[in-house]
Amino acid sequence: MPLTTSARPLTIRILALVGAVTGAFVLTSPGAARAAEQVACEQPPTTQAFAKYGDRADYAVAPGGTFEDGAPGWTLIGWAHIVNGNEPGGITSGSKSLRIGPGGVAISPEFCVDPANPHFRYMLRPIVSVGSLSTMLNVRSALTGNLGWLHYSTLNLRYLPLLWLPSSRNALGNVIPSVALGGKAVAVRLIFTAKDGIYDIDSVMVDPYRSR
Ligand SMILES: [Ca+2]
């Protein structure tokens, strides 16, 4: 069954929790204002990380997206923690990944997104055969302030339990209105929540679009 991506509701409890956490970051993150005030982002070195899966776009690792060395900058709440074992696809190397279960929330460090960052993608392994993993973006702009979060949910029905596969290409800059219209950079946090089911996540990668 093909991968299906659609907006789905989350529980009020999870939304309240995410709102409280990201709201706190707005008040306390020292790098937040700098990231949101850049005109364009500095794009890090890239590789064609998902080429073996037929995706020849360039990708760079999201901050802490390998979940090695304690996943610096990530905030893990509830059933969300680092476990032993790296994704075996070789997108990135290492020995750790993120495990997230029902009600768990994992929030990335804030990073810069501009029109050259249309997508993000990651490696995913369901531990059980049913469930839904939601991804959200918390977005802040120097012009408009905190835009709140944009919500997406991916039902990973084509995934077999315990099998690592790449996620779909999740919308990033191309779904943030001010960025998609060619505006200035914004500051973004990726938010993963498991409504139910248990997932391992590793190698969270951002797509810096390059003209070839
Ligand atoms: Ca890893």
Q: For residues 70 and 54, what is the distance between their CA atoms, to the nearest angstrom? A: 31
What is the phi/psi pair of residue 178, to 5°?
-70, -30
CATH 2.60.120.260 corresponds to the domain 4-207: yes
Ligand 1 centroid from CA 145, angstroms: 33
> What is the Å distance from ligand 1's center to 84 Cα?
9
Task: State the distance from the centre of ligand 1 to the C-alpha of 175, rounded, in angstroms.
Answer: 27
142 C-alpha to ligand 1 centroid (Å): 33
Cα–Cα distance, 132 to 10 (Å, whole number):
10
pLDDT of residue 78: 95
User: What pLDDT, on the 0 to 100 scale, is given for residue 67?
Assistant: 98
Other CB atoms within 10 A of residue 47 CB: 13
Cα 90 to ligand 1 centre (Å): 9
- What is the distance between the alpha carbons of residues 182 and 77, in angstroms, rounded to a whole number? 34
Statement: residue 5 has pLDDT above 50: no
Residue 159 confidence (pLDDT) above 90: no
Report the percentage of the chain scoring pLDDT > 90: 49
Q: How far is the CA of 178 from the centre of ligand 1 (A)?
A: 32
Ligand 1 centroid vs 70 CA: distance in angstroms?
A: 10
Alpha-helix residue ranges (DSSP H) falling in 32-176: 32-37
Query: pTM of the entire structure?
Result: 0.84
Mean pLDDT calculated for residue range 154-165 = 74
Q: What is the pLDDT of residue 29?
A: 47
Per-residue pLDDT, 3 = 32
As given in the structure block, the two tokens for residue 155 are 């039902």
Q: What is the pLDDT of residue 131?
A: 80
Which helix (H) or strand (E) covers residue 199, if one does? strand 199-207
Helical H segments across the chain, by residue range? 12-28, 32-37, 177-180
% of residues, the chain, pLDDT over 70? 76
Amino acid occupying residue 128: V
The residues facing 205 across adjacent strands are 61, 121
Cα 183 to ligand 1 centroid, rounded to whole Å: 33
**Rg for the chain, CA atoms, rounded:** 16
CA nearest 1: which of 201, 174, 158? Answer: 158
| C-alpha to C-alpha distances, 164 to 54, 104, 122, 211, nearest whole angstrom | 16, 20, 10, 30
Ligand 1 centroid to residue 95 C-alpha, Å: 5
Neighbouring-strand partners of residue 139: 148, 188
d(C-alpha 200, C-alpha 117), whole Å: 24
Expressed in angstroms and rounded, the spacing between residue 52 Cα and the centre of ligand 1 is: 18
CA of 64 to the centre of ligand 1 (A): 9
The per-residue pLDDT for range 25-65, each reduced to its tens digit, is: 544 444 544 555 566 888 888 999 999 999 999 999 999 99
CA distance 48 to 58: 5
- Residue 1 pLDDT > 50: no
